[in-house]
Structure 1
Amino acid sequence: MAQKAKEEAVVAEATEAKKAQEAPAVSPAQENPEKFLKEFDWHNYEEGIDPIEDSKLEEFEKLVAENFVDTLDDEVVEGEVIHMTERDAIIDINAKSEGVISLNEFRYNPDLKVGDKVEVLIDVREDSTGQLILSHRKARTIKAWDRVNEAHDEGSIVNGYVKCRTKGGMIVDVFGIEAFLPGSQIDVKPIRDYDMYVGKTMEFKVVKINHEFKNVVVSHKALIEADIEEQKKEIISQLEKGQVLEGVVKNITSYGVFVDLGGVDGLVHITDLSWSRINHPSEIVELDQKLNVVILDFDENKTRIQLGLKQLSAHPWDALGEEVKIGDKVKGKVVVIADYGAFIEVAEGVEGLIHVSEMSWSTHLRSA
Structure 2
Amino acid sequence: MNSALAVKQVNTPSMENFADLLDESMGPQSSLEGSVLKGRVVAIENDFALIDVGLKSEGRIALKEFATVPGQPVELKAGDEVEVFLERFEDKNGEAVLSREKAKREEAWQQLETSFNDSQRVTGVIFGRVKGGFTVDLGGAVAFLPGSQVDIRPVRDITPLMGTPQPFQILKMDRSRGNIVVSRRAVLEESRAEARQELVANLQEGQVLQGVVKNITDYGAFVDLGGVDGLLHVTDISWRRINHPTEALQIGQTVKVQVIRFNSETQRISLGMKQLEADPWEGVDAKYPVGAKLKGRVTNITDYGAFVELEAGIEGLVHVSEMSWTKKNVHPGKIVSTSQEVEVMILDVDPVKRRISLGLKQCLDNPWATFEDKFPGGTEIEGEVKNITEFGLFVGLPGDIDGMVHLSDLDWNRSGEEAVKDYKKGDTVKVKVLDVDVEKERISLGIKQLGDDPFESSMTGVKRGDVVTAVVSQITDGGIEVQVNGMSGFIRKAELSRERSEQRPERFNVGDRVDCRVTQLDRATRKLALSIKAMEVAEEKAAMAEFGSSDSGASLGDILGEALRRKQGGEG
Distance 2:331 2:295 in 1: 25
Confirm or deny: 8 A CA contact 2:38 2:84 kept in the other structure: yes
Match of residue 92, structure 1, among 53, 58, 71: 53
Post-superposition offset of 1:257: 5.2
Match of residue 352, structure 1, among 317, 323, 336: 317
Match of residue 97, structure 2, among 121, 129, 133: 133
Aligned length: 310
Match of residue 301, structure 2, among 330, 333, 337: 337
State how 1:1-368 maps to structure 2 within 5 Å.
43-47=9-13, 68-71=28-31, 75-81=34-40, 83-86=42-45, 87-94=48-55, 97-104=56-63, 105-108=65-68, 110-111=75-76, 113-114=78-79, 116-123=81-88, 125-160=89-124, 173-178=137-142, 185=150, 198=163, 202=165, 204-208=167-171, 216-217=181-182, 219=184, 222-223=186-187, 225-240=189-204, 243-251=205-213, 254-255=216-217, 256=220, 265-279=229-243, 281=245, 287-288=253-254, 291=256, 293-298=258-263, 303-311=267-275, 314=279, 316=281, 319-320=284-285, 333-338=297-302, 340-345=303-308, 347=310, 348-352=313-317, 354=319, 368=333
Paired residue type of 2:209: G
Paired residue type of 2:201: S
Distance 2:305 2:131 in 1: 48
Distance 1:46 1:197 in 2: 65
Please report the TM-score for the alignment, with normalisation by the length of structure 2.
0.41
Cα RMSD after superposing both structures: 5.5
Distance 1:167 1:364 in 2: 65
The 3 A distance-change label for structure 1 pair 250 and 184 is farther
The 3 A distance-change label for structure 1 pair 106 and 235 is closer
Post-superposition offset of 1:307: 0.8
Post-superposition offset of 1:118: 1.2
CA deviation digits over 1:270-325, x for unaligned, max 9? Answer: 22112431255576679556x46242234556x54211233565584984489677
Confirm or deny: 8 A CA contact 2:44 2:50 kept in the other structure: yes
Post-superposition offset of 1:344: 1.6
Distance 2:228 2:179 in 1: 37
Paired residue type of 2:307: I
Q: Secondary structure at the match of 2:29?
A: coil
Please identify the structure whose Cα radius of gyration is greater: 2
Post-superposition offset of 1:194: 6.0
Structure 1: runs of 5+ lacking an equivalent: 1-32, 52-56
Post-superposition offset of 1:176: 1.4
Please report the TM-score for the alignment, with normalisation by the length of structure 1.
0.58
Structure 2: runs of 5+ lacking an equivalent: 69-73, 334-572
Paired residue type of 1:88: A
Give identity over the alignment, percent.
23
Distance 1:310 1:46 in 2: 100
Partner of 2:531: none
Partner of 2:570: none
Distance 2:287 2:62 in 1: 87
CA deviation digits over 1:44-80, x for unaligned, max 9? Answer: 433499x9xxxxx99x999999x72334x76323232
Partner of 1:21: none
Partner of 1:14: none
Paired residue type of 1:343: A
Paired residue type of 1:245: Q
Post-superposition offset of 1:251: 3.0
Confirm or deny: 8 A CA contact 1:84 1:90 kept in the other structure: yes
Partner of 1:30: none
Distance 2:132 2:285 in 1: 52
Distance 1:161 1:329 in 2: 64
Post-superposition offset of 1:122: 1.9
Q: Secondary structure at the match of 1:140?
A: helix
Confirm or deny: 8 A CA contact 1:151 1:158 kept in the other structure: yes
**Mean Cα deviation higher: 105-114 or 205-214:** 205-214
The structure carrying a bigger strand percent of its residues is 2
Paired residue type of 2:86: L
